[in-house]
Amino acid sequence: IFLACAADLCSSDDMEMCSLKVLELEGSPSLMLLRLIGERGCTTGHLMDYLQTLGNQDALQCLKPPALQIVIQPQSVALICGHNLRLSCHAVCKSPVQYQWFKYNQEVPNSLSPDLVISPVHLKDAGFYICRVNSVDAFEFSQWVQVDVLNVGVSYGQSYQSLDGRMKVVIQPQSQRLHVGENLQLECGAVGRPIPRYQWHRNGVPIANASKRKLTVRRPDAYYQARVVYRSGFLPLLCLISATDKVALLIGNLSYQNHPQLKAPMVDVYDLTNLLRQLNFKVVSLLDLTESEMRNAVDEFLLLLHKGVYGLLYYAGHGYENYGNSFMVPVDAPNPYRSANCLCVQSILKLMQEKETGLNVFLLDMCRKRNIHDDSTPNIVLRVTANIVFGYATCQDAEAFELSSSGFTNGVFVKFLKKRLLDDEKITVVLDRVAEDMGQFDATKGKQALEIRSSLSERRALTDPILPGDSADLLHAHSRQWAKAHELPESMCLNFDCGAQIKLGFAAEFSNVLVIYTHIVKKPEDMSSCQAHVTDFSQDLDVDPKEMNRETPEETGIYLLSSCLPQHCLYTRLSSLQKLREELVFTVCLQGTFASMDDDHPVHWTKSVNIGKPLIARLDLHRAMRRNSCLQTCMMPHSPSHSPCHSPGPEHRLYPHHGSLQAQDNNRLSPQQRYLDICEHLQGTLGGCRDSYCDHLSQRRYEPPYDSPEGLSSSPGRLSIPIEATDDIDELQTVFINSLQPQL
């Protein structure tokens, strides 16, 4: 068949060498000849032309692509129980194709599409899967794939981000104390795509036949370590430094009553919540807290701390700094505000030190300008401990910025922090890299720079494992306390007298934001239309009836969680759950019309539902401040000469305010206005910006005096200036940076 092809491309010596290949084991003169032809630049098309000339149809059929071909093979994956499983297999064919998925040799019910989706996945779904693709006259099988489902304890209300193919260790091997003769049981678990592989080590030496997630050792006498192999990398799991627990309090204040509104804190808190949960932090995320609510939230946060715990406090909102002490401004702070109206960060640190925590991390995404209305000098005496890290979003006497564009954006600090937060490095190294990234952002050069203050002497990282140690009972009690504030109501089905069945579901966007959605499960055959909505909520909650029972999550202000909610429902968002004083009771109203009725007048049925106190409402943050509140440590005056850090000189001070802000009602924004800055999508990018769109900056969390030139804007809180795309990038940056206006 191939002699004519070889005549022009191969010499006689080549032909003789090919014929001798038949003397070798599995030798083939034809394969050898084809390899030689390929090395001389002959393509499949050339070969098919030669075979066409010879008229050899059998050989031509061998070279033609198959009528049915699988172009995308499914991949093995390891994931957490409760997540969504998706396996994909795609084939091409001239005729229509059909798909059927199998688990082992059993057909998977209702799996006739290219994508096999199991939502949520359970432990029983683990195993081996394969897909059969059928056409009119042929069929093909995909490759076998393994699905490994890990049983990891997940608290109510916790959400996860997509892994995007990255490996993540979710089950850490735990140190153990054994009696003589006892066996050692170790377990390690990781999720990722493709499925991770394991290798256990003893004193740094690989253990033979120890490549499973679980390891049993008889009479152990050394240190053991697991390494998870992912492609070509190794990830050590068992470290000398560990935490007894990890707890984080995240506060984002944006809807201020007497000060400019902010937008980025909501997105910042949401993104950091998901990242910290991947690091096994117990996260309390709260939006828009008053002074008493903030102080009570800090008290509850302190209850979760004990010896060896990693405590992290993130705050995004208005703020200031006097004499080296940082103050967080609640949403109900008067204008002007003073230290008596705010929370002092250093006082919270003092209370954390009394808990003998293993690591104290403060990430303050606020301005640090001097407050000329506050002459108090808090006398906060801190212990000398080597476990404190401060990450300030900006330098002393400077403002912080938030990005503004079409869609959701972070503040400048979190924009770069979230790209580094999962790095397995010392926390100060992580912040150093964030500072370097921020330094490359041309739009804020010379205006905002990350400042790091640290007394950390050990290599402590946010990725350190959790080893309970001797206080396991105390840890369990504290875990119950945290879970108490994150318990979602269970989904329920409501049966109405007319025969309709309604599903009532719940989701948590933040610790104090609850999402309720209703879905029609079943309706009577003679009912032509049916709709269920919720109403009659407590007056403690600030709920706008116009933004309830909407057909899309975005219409009711649910932007960040919308992709995680079921479709074809009516959605309602309840914020400020911390204000709820009684159990949450509301009404589910069913409205339907019947085809048998002469008119289209709807018929109504109602049911009352009591879901108790959901999420953070259980902690009663609305109550009066406790006697041992952090308020006591915020108001002890002392001489400025004894302050750890002096305030800026007169040349940096602000001038008094004249006039007042607009009325509170005029400052309030709808959820659409508050969380989305609707503007034309700009093409092109700003130099130094990593996003695919042009970011706009507005100075954040600093309120200028009204008699200064920078404070003349008639719409505080909306100072973003649209910039048209241009070919002159340097000129664009100059105009863009010069347009920044201070805003607190």
Residues labelled catalytic: 318, 367
- Helix, coil or strand: residue 235: strand
Tell me how far apart the alpha carbons of residues 295 and 288 are, in angstroms, rounded to a whole number.
Answer: 13
Residue 384, burial from CB neighbour count under 10 angstroms (0-12, 13-18, 19+): exposed
Contact 50, 4 (CB under 8 A): yes
The two tokens of residue 558 are: 């649910």
b/e burial code for range 338-352 (CB count within 10 A of at least 16 → b)? bbebbbbbbbbbebb
Tell me how far apart the alpha carbons of residues 455 and 97 are, in angstroms, rounded to a whole number.
Answer: 64
Tell me how far apart the alpha carbons of residues 610 and 489 are, in angstroms, rounded to a whole number.
Answer: 10
Contact 376, 636 (CB under 8 A): no
- Which residue matches tokens 């109501």? 489
Q: How far is CA 617 from CA 47, 97, 293, 484, 515, in A?
A: 75, 53, 11, 10, 14
**Sequence-distant (≥ 6) Cβ neighbours of residue 143 within 8 angstroms:** 73, 74, 130
Q: How far is CA 401 from CA 476, 678, 693, 700, in A?
A: 40, 19, 18, 4
Residue 231, burial from CB neighbour count under 10 angstroms (0-12, 13-18, 19+): exposed
Tell me how far apart the alpha carbons of residues 36 and 51 are, in angstroms, rounded to a whole number.
Answer: 17
Tell me how far apart the alpha carbons of residues 570 and 617 are, in angstroms, rounded to a whole number.
Answer: 23
- Which residue matches tokens 């009602």? 665
Type of residue found at 129:
Y
Tell me how far apart the alpha carbons of residues 26 and 38 are, in angstroms, rounded to a whole number.
Answer: 20
Contact 87, 67 (CB under 8 A): no
Residue of 547, 512, 513 lying closest to 533 (CA atoms): 547
Q: How far is CA 336 from CA 12, 660, 742, in A?
A: 97, 9, 17
CB neighbours (10 Å) of residue 445?
Answer: 14
**Sequence-distant (≥ 6) Cβ neighbours of residue 260 within 8 angstroms:** 661, 667, 703, 716, 717, 743, 744
